[in-house]
Amino acid sequence: MASRSTNKQLAGDPDWWRGAIIYQIYPRSFFDTNGDGIGDLAGVIHKLDYVASLGVDAIWLSPFFVSPMDDFGYDVADYCDVDPMFGTLEDFDALVKEAHARGLRVLIDLVLSHTSDRHPWFAESRKSRDNHRADWYVWADAKRDGTAPNNWLSLFGGPAWEWDTKRRQYYMHNFLATQPDLNYHNREVQDATLDVAKFWLERGVDGFRLDTVNKYVHDAQLRDNPPLRQGMRATVDDGNPVAMQEPLYNINRPENLDYVERLRAVLDAYPGTTSVGEIGNRMVEGPELGQYTAPGRLHMVYGFDLLQGPVTAEGVREALERAKRHGASWISWPFSNHDVVRVATRTGLGPEAAPMLLQLMLCLGGSPTLYQGEELGLPEADVPFDFLKDPYGKRFWPDIKGRDGCRTPMPWSGALPHAGFSAALPWLPVDHHHIALAVDRQEVDETSPLNLARAFIGWRREQPLLRTGELTFIDAPPAVLAFTRTAGGEGLLCAFNLSHEEAAFEPGVPCVPVAAPGIAGGRFAQDSIELDALGVFIGAMKP
C-alpha cells in the first residue's frame, strides 16, 4: 500500500475545511483518456490544472470503486480497489499526489450504507442463515402471508425488500434491489467499514463525503413507518410514494450516531482530514443537522434544502435559519450535484443568472460545493428516453426524467467531436446547448461565467469574513436575499436580486461598496441599496 502523503504545502491548519470551496468531480463524465467514452482517473489528472485555476480548495470524487454500475458506482462490489473502467490504484495514488502538488485536497465518496449484491460479503451472506456473514445484511422473514416484513419503501420505487430464494428470506434495500443494506447492528460490519476508511486514509485522502450517512442503521424491531403527519412537508414531492411516509424507522436512528462517532475517531487519527455527511431523507431537514455535527461526530453535513426546487430568497433564508435553530455547527451548501436538475435550469431565471447564483452560494457561509460545469453556467441537458442510463429515470419516466441530465459529459472544446470529452461516442450524449459554453470558448471571453467565477473565487479567498464570519439576515423585498457576514468588529453586507425586476431597500446598515470582481448591478445611494435585475451588491460595513 502507498504511504500516506505528507505534502508540506497542505500541512498546517487542521480546520482548512471551514469555508473551503469543494469542487465535485463526477469521474465518468469529466474527461476520457482511453477512448472508451467514459471518463477516468487519468482524465481527472489531465484536467487538474484547470481545476486548480478555479481557485477551489479541494476536489470530491464521486465513486470510482469496483462496481457492476447498476447505480453508476453507488453499488460497490469492492471498496478497496478501482474499477478497471476508471483505471488502477496506481492511477489513484498518482491523482492524490498530483492534486496535492497543486494545493488541492482530495475527498472521496464513501458509500457505506449498502453494497452491491455482487460484493463478496453479500455473496456469502445469502448462502445460508448460519455462515460467518449471515448477519452482515438486513434479513427478515416474510409475514405469514408471504408479504414483506414491513411497509418501508425504496427510493427507486416499490417495497424496500427483495425476496431471496436461497435463504427464503427478504433482504432490505433503501435503493435498488441490487443494493442490499448492511446491518450496522453487527459490530463486525462496523469494524469492516472502518477498515475501508483507514485503507483510503493511508493512501492519502484528505477526507470523505459520506453517502446517505443517516441511513446506516435501521430499526432493529422493523416497525412500520407512519404516514406523513399533517403539517409536515417533503423537501420534494415528485410523485414518488416515499414522500408519503415519515421515515422514523429506516432513517436517522439514534444508534446511527454511535457509529458516526467511531468513524470520527478514525479520522481524528489522521490530522487535517475532514468529513461531510449527506443527510438525505426527502423531508425538510430538522434536528438531524445539529445531531450529526455535534462535537465528536461529523465535521460538516451536506445540506439538501437548496438542491430541491427553485432557489428563492425566501427558501434560502428559511433553510439557513432552520439549520441554525437546530444547532448545525457547519454545513456544506450546494446548489447542484449529480442527483438533481442543474441550478441554472432549476431556478428558471435563465443562463444569465449563473454568475449571480454562484456568487450567492460562495457568500452564504459554510463550505460550498461546486459541481463540475456549474462554473460554466451549464443548464440541465435534455437526454432523450432512448439514451437514458439512470434506473431512476427509466422507472419514473416521463414524469421524472431522472439524473442523466446533470451527468452528461463536461464540454471542454467547442470545435472537437463530443465537446472534447472523448474521441469515442460518450456514455451519455453531449447536449448541443453545452457546446457554446465549452471551456475553450469561455476562456477567451473575460465576461464569461467561467472567468467571472475564477475572479470572484480568487477575491473570496482573501475575504476571511466570507469563509468564517457570522451570517445574519436583513429584511429585504421578497425577491432579494440580503445578509451580513461579521467577525471581529468588521463586516460585509451582501445583497442578491433573484428576479428580473429591479429592487431597492434600506438595509439600515451604512456601508461602502466593495469592488469585488465579477459582481454587477448593485449600488448604494442615500442609505438605499439599488439592484438591477439579477444584480449583486457587496459593501464593507462602516463601524
Of 425, 460, 495, which residue is a domain's last?
Answer: 460
**Could you tell me the pTM of the whole model?**
0.96
In terms of domains, do 380 and 497 share one? Answer: no
Q: Is residue 437 part of a domain?
A: yes
Q: Each residue of 239-276: pLDDT tens digit? A: 788 888 888 999 989 999 999 999 999 999 999 999 99
Stretch among 177-191, 221-235, 464-478 having the lowest mean pLDDT = 221-235
Active site includes 211?
Answer: yes
Angstrom distance (rounded) from CA 121 to CA 125: 6
Placement of cell 441599496 in the chain: 529
Query: Distance between alpha carbon 85 and the CA centroid of its chain, in Å?
Result: 23
Which of the residue ranges 1-10, 184-193, 197-206 would you say has the lowest mean pLDDT? 1-10
How high is the pLDDT of residue 270? 97
- The residue annotated as part of the active site, out of 40, 181, 211, 404, is 211
Residue 130 lies in a domain: no
Average pLDDT over residues 496-511: 96
CA–CA distance, 398 with 236 (Å, rounded to integer): 17
Query: What residues make up the domain containing 486?
Result: 469-541
Q: Three cell numbers at 397?
A: 419516466
Instruction: Specify if 142 maps to a domain.
Output: no
In angstroms, the Cα distances linking 120 to 164, 194, 218 are 16, 17, 22
- Same-domain pairing of 344 and 480: no
Is residue 323 in some structural domain? yes
Q: What is the CATH number of the domain that holds 493?
A: 2.60.40.1180
Task: Tell which of 426, 460, 494 closes a domain.
Answer: 460
162 is catalytic: no
Same domain, yes or no: 411 and 483: no
With cut-offs at 50, 70 and 90, classify the pLDDT of residue 6: very low
User: Are 350 and 499 found together in one domain?
Assistant: no
Residue range 156-188, pLDDT digits in tens: 889 999 999 999 999 999 999 999 999 999 999
Of the listed ranges 142-146, 324-328, 377-381, 511-515, the least confidently predicted one is 324-328
- Single residue among 460, 495, 516 that ends a domain in this structure: 460
My answer on whether 351 and 500 are in the same domain is: no
Q: Which residues pair with 334 in a beta bridge?
A: 369
Assess whether 426 and 448 both reside in one domain: yes
Residues 406 and 521 in one domain: no
Q: Give residue 10's pLDDT band: very low, low, confident or very high (50, 70, 90).
A: confident
Cell numbers for 194: 472502518
- Residue 236: pLDDT band by 50, 70, 90 thresholds? low
Residues 506 and 474 in one domain: yes
More confident residue, 465 or 156: 465
Please tell me whether residues 416 and 442 are part of one structural domain.
yes
Residue 340 host element (H or E): none
| Number of domain units in the chain | 2
Give the CATH number of the domain where residue 452 resides.
3.20.20.80
For residue 286, what pLDDT is reported? 72
Residue 167, domain member (yes or no): no
- Mean pLDDT value of segment 25-54: 98
Question: What band does 238 get if pLDDT is binned at 50, 70 and 90?
Answer: low
360 in a structural domain: yes
Same domain, 452 and 487: no
- Give yes or no for residue 399 having a pLDDT over 90: no
Question: How is 392-461 classified by DSSP, letter by letter?
Answer: HHHHHTTT---SGGGTSPP---SSSGGGGS-SS--SSPPPGGGGGG-HHHHHT-TTSHHHHHHHHHHHHT
* 168 inside domain: no
The residue annotated as part of the active site, out of 57, 70, 117, 278, is: 278
The verdict on residue 343 lying in a domain is: yes
Is 530 found in the same domain as 505? Answer: yes
428 plus 298 within the same structural domain: yes
Q: Is 184 exposed, middle or buried (0-12, 13-18, 19+ CB in 10 A)?
A: buried
Is the model's pLDDT at 232 over the cut of 80? no
The pLDDT-based confidence of 3 (bands split at 50, 70, 90) is very low
- For range 438-467, the mean pLDDT: 97
Amino acid of residue 328: A
Q: What is the pLDDT of residue 4?
A: 55
